[in-house]
Amino acid sequence: MFQKIYCTLLLICGVLGSTIAQICQGSLGDPIINITFGAGPNPGPQITAASTNYTFVNTDCPKDGNYAIRNRTENCFDTTWFTVTDHTGDANGYFMLVNASYAPGDFYLDTVRGLCPGTTYEFASWVINVKKPVLCYGATQIIDPNITFRIERMDGTLIQSYNTNSISASTPPQWRQYGFFFTTPAGVSDVILRMVNNAPGGCGNDLGLDDITFRPCGPQINSSIAGSGSTSDTLCGGASKTYTFTAQSSPGYVNPTYQWQKNTNGNWTDIPGATSTTYTETFDSNALPGDHLFRVNTAESGNIGSAKCRVSSQILSIYVTEVPELSVSSNSPVCESGTIQLSAITPESSVSWTGPAAFSASGSNVNITNAQSGNSGRYFATIAKANCSWKDSVDVVIVGKPTVQLNHDSTTICEGDSLQLSASGADSYEWIPGSGLADRNANPISVKPGATTTFSVVGTNVQGCTDTAYAFIRVLRKPMANAGTDRFILKGTSTQLQGTATGDSILYYWTPNYSITGIQSLNPTISPLVDTAYVLHVESTAGCGIDQDTVRVTIYKEIIIPNAFSPNGDSYNDRWEIPGLNSYPLAEVFLFDRYGREVLRTRNYKAWDGTRNGQPVPAATYYYVIDLRDGSPKLNGWLYLTR
C-alpha cells in the first residue's frame, strides 16, 4: 500500500535511459548493506561478505563465467572492452568486473535479517557495460547485460523483482544506478537479496558492478536552519549563537515519529528528548572548531529505534571557525618618556591597533616613543578572517621608574658555597631565576648556584614601575681526581697511567715519586719493579679544596718460554714447562703445526707432554700463541719438539 502511494505522490519511479528504474526518490536511511568492494592495488580480494555463482580470478580480463575485483581494467580482449575505474572515484577503489557466462546465474546473493514489516526498502547497484559497441570476431550481434533484482523470502519464494532490460553501452562508458524499492510483507523480517544474470555469454554481457546497497526508503524529509532556509551556516569561533533546526516530511507514514541526531567522532548518536520536527542547539564561546553535523530520522511509529527501519534527512552543518591564536602583551608599566611596546602574537598577517588619544596603527609589533601620562589606558589588537573578527587588549600604565642596586654586581664563589644578595631602591623585589630559592620575593636572599649564574632582581615601586639589576656569580668547580683503572704489567716493562682531573683553577701531581716520568702530567709513564699504588692529587689554586684518587699497579713475574723439549721418556726435558705462567691464572695457550692446524688449546696451563688426544705428535717445529688475558700483547714464537 505504502509503496504505491509513495511512488505516486513523490514520482519515485525515475527514468534511466530507456529503462524504468524504481530508485527511491524520497529519503534514504543508513545502508544496511553497502558493498563498495574496498580499495587497494590490483588484484582485489574475492567476495566474502556475500556469494556469487561466478568463479574468482586474479586476472585483469576475466573469461566467461569468471569475475575479478579490480581498481582499473584496460586493453582487455584486444581493446574491445572500455578502460574502466570504480564508480565512486575513490583512490584505487575496487569494483566487481564480470564476464557473464552462457547460462543464467547469480551475480550477487546475500541475506538481510531484522527488517521491520510494512517498511519500504531500496535494493540497488551501479552497473556499467564494459563492452565497446564493436562486434567480436565471427559474431553477428553484441549481447548487452540484462539483470533481475529479486527479493525473496527465506524459503526462496519471490516477494518482488525488478528487471533492468538490456543495458546498452555508451561512449564514453557510463555508470548507471539500477534497482527498485519494495515493502516488507507482514510477518517478514528476513529476506534474501539476489542479482541474476539474464543475458547469455559470448560477444558481450561484460559488465562492472559497484556500490551495491540495501537501505530503508521513506518519505522525503527536508530539513533546514530556521530563519535562513539553508542547510549550513558558519559561526565565528568564540561567539555564541542559538540555532533552530526544522524538518518537514512529505506524506507516506501513517503515524510518523522523529529523532534528531548529532554526529560525534564520525558516529551518529540520538539526542535525548529531540523527537519533534524542530530542534534547538546553542553554541557557546567554547564550541569546538570544525563541522557540527545534525540530521533527523523518521519512521513509522514503533520503528524509530531501529536503524534498519528509519530514513534520514539531509545533513545540516554548522561550521565553527577556529579562533586564531591572538596573544596581546606590552612592557607596561612604562616609565614616563620611555617606549611603550605593544605585541600581538598571531599567525594572521594583518593586525590593527586602537587605543587612548585616538591612537591607531597596524602590525604585530608597535612602539610608542616618548610616552606621557595621556598614553595610559587600554590598547586593542584586532584581527579579521573570513567575515569574522577577534580582538584582545592590554592595559598600559605610565609611571615613574625606581633605581635598583645590588650589594654584589660580580663575585666568585666555590662550588657548594652560598652567598647573600641584597637589593635596594624599590618597594618589592622578584629574583630570577627563582628555582632553589625559599622565597623569590624575599630581600635579602641566600643563593647557592651549582654553576656560574647571572641573577637578576626586578624591583617594583608602589606605582608598579620596575627596574632590573644584575649580579654575576662565577662558580668555581671543585677539584676532582680520577687516577684511572688498576693496571697489571710484566716485571721490567712500563705502562702509561690514564688520569683525569676536573675543576676550575686547578693543579695536579702524582705520588710517590717512584719509577714515574711526568709527575705533573695526567698520563705519566711508570715502570715499577714491585706492586705500587700511585695517587693523583688535584688541588684548587683558588682555595676550593683538594681531591685525590689511587691507581694500583700489580707486577707480574717474567715469563720464560723454552723453545725446545724432547718427550722421549728419559725423564730429562720430557715436558714443555713455562716458568712464571702460573702467575696468570686466566692465561690461554695455543699451539699449531706448520700447516696452521691446532695441536693444543688450554687454560690454566701446567705443562705439555708432546701428545695430542693421547697420541705422540711427530718431531717438528710448532708455533705457540699465549694470551695472558690481562690486556698486554699476546706472546708468540716457535717450539722445536725432538724425540
Reading the block at residue 337, the C-alpha cell is 618618556
Confidence at residue 4, expressed as pLDDT on a 0 to 100 scale: 36
| Alpha carbon distance 48, 138 (integer Å) | 37
Reading the block at residue 371, the C-alpha cell is 610616552
Q: Residue 301 in 3-state DSSP?
A: coil
Residue 10 near residue 25 (C-beta atoms within 8 A): yes
Residue 232 near residue 318 (C-beta atoms within 8 A): yes
DSSP code at position 375: G
| pTM for this entry | 0.56
Per CATH, 2-218 and 327-399 having the same topology is answered no
Confidence at residue 25, expressed as pLDDT on a 0 to 100 scale: 84
pLDDT tens per residue across span 186-203: 999 999 999 999 988 788
Reading the block at residue 124, the C-alpha cell is 540497488
Q: Provide the residue ranges of all domains of the chain, joining segments of one domain with +.
A: 2-218, 221-320, 327-399, 405-476, 480-556, 564-641
| Alpha carbon distance 39, 86 (integer Å) | 9
Phi, psi of 374 (to 5 degrees): -70, -15
CATH number, span 2-218: 2.60.120.260
CA contacts within 13 A on the Cβ side of 589: 24
CA contacts within 13 A on the Cβ side of 416: 7
State the DSSP H helix or E strand holding residue 156, giving kind and residue range, or none if neither. Answer: none
| Alpha carbon distance 36, 34 (integer Å) | 6
Between the alpha carbon of residue 513 and those of residues 46, 224, 295, 516, 518, the distances in Å are 87, 99, 94, 6, 10
Confidence at residue 554, expressed as pLDDT on a 0 to 100 scale: 86
- Phi-psi sector, 227: left (phi>0), alpha (psi -120 to 50), beta: left
| Alpha carbon distance 355, 378 (integer Å) | 6
Between the alpha carbon of residue 401 and those of residues 379, 389, 462, the distances in Å are 22, 37, 10
Residue type for 397, please?
V
Name the CATH architecture for the domain at 564-641. Sandwich (2.60)
Confidence at residue 8, expressed as pLDDT on a 0 to 100 scale: 33
Confidence at residue 101, expressed as pLDDT on a 0 to 100 scale: 81
Residue 196 near residue 148 (C-beta atoms within 8 A): yes
N-to-C CA span, the chain: 120
DSSP code at position 264: E
Q: Residue 583 in 3-state DSSP?
A: helix
CATH number, span 405-476: 2.60.40.10
Beta bridge partners of 241: 283
Burial class (CB in 10 A: 0-12, 13-18, 19+), 598: exposed
Confidence at residue 401, expressed as pLDDT on a 0 to 100 scale: 81
Confidence at residue 436, expressed as pLDDT on a 0 to 100 scale: 81
Residue 390 near residue 383 (C-beta atoms within 8 A): yes
| Alpha carbon distance 427, 635 (integer Å) | 80
| Alpha carbon distance 61, 80 (integer Å) | 11
Residue type for 225, please?
I
Confidence at residue 467, expressed as pLDDT on a 0 to 100 scale: 87
| Alpha carbon distance 534, 531 (integer Å) | 10
Confidence at residue 21, expressed as pLDDT on a 0 to 100 scale: 60
Beta bridge partners of 622: 639
Beta bridge partners of 598: 592
CATH of 327-399, one of 1.10.10.60, 2.60.40.10, 3.40.50.720, 2.40.100.10: 2.60.40.10
Between the alpha carbon of residue 71 and those of residues 97, 210, 256, the distances in Å are 10, 11, 42
Confidence at residue 61, expressed as pLDDT on a 0 to 100 scale: 93
Beta bridge partners of 481: 501
Give me the residues of the chain with pLDDT under 50, please: 1-20
Q: Name which CATH class applies to 480-556.
A: mainly beta
Confidence at residue 465, expressed as pLDDT on a 0 to 100 scale: 79
Give Cα 505 distance to the centre of its chain.
50
Between the alpha carbon of residue 7 and those of residues 120, 183, 571, 638, the distances in Å are 11, 12, 122, 109
Q: Where are the beta strands (DSSP E) in 301-438?
A: 311-312, 316-320, 327-330, 334-335, 340-345, 352-355, 359-362, 365-368, 377-385, 388-396, 398-399, 405-406, 410-414, 419-421, 423-424, 428-432
State the DSSP H helix or E strand holding residue 6, giving kind and residue range, or none if neither. Answer: helix 2-10
Neighbours of 95 (CB within 10 A): 29
Q: Which of 314, 109, 71, 116 is nearest to 215 (CA)?
A: 116
| Alpha carbon distance 100, 450 (integer Å) | 84
The Cα diameter of the chain in Å comes to: 127
Reading the block at residue 206, the C-alpha cell is 561484460
**CATH topology classification for 221-320:** Immunoglobulin-like (2.60.40)
Q: Which of 146, 166, 221, 158 is nearest to 185 (CA)?
A: 158
Confidence at residue 636, expressed as pLDDT on a 0 to 100 scale: 94
- Residue carrying the nine cell digits 558492478: 209
Strands 564-565 and 516-517: unpaired
Reading the block at residue 382, the C-alpha cell is 584586532
Q: Which of 206, 214, 173, 194 is nearest to 87 (CA)?
A: 173
| Alpha carbon distance 457, 638 (integer Å) | 79
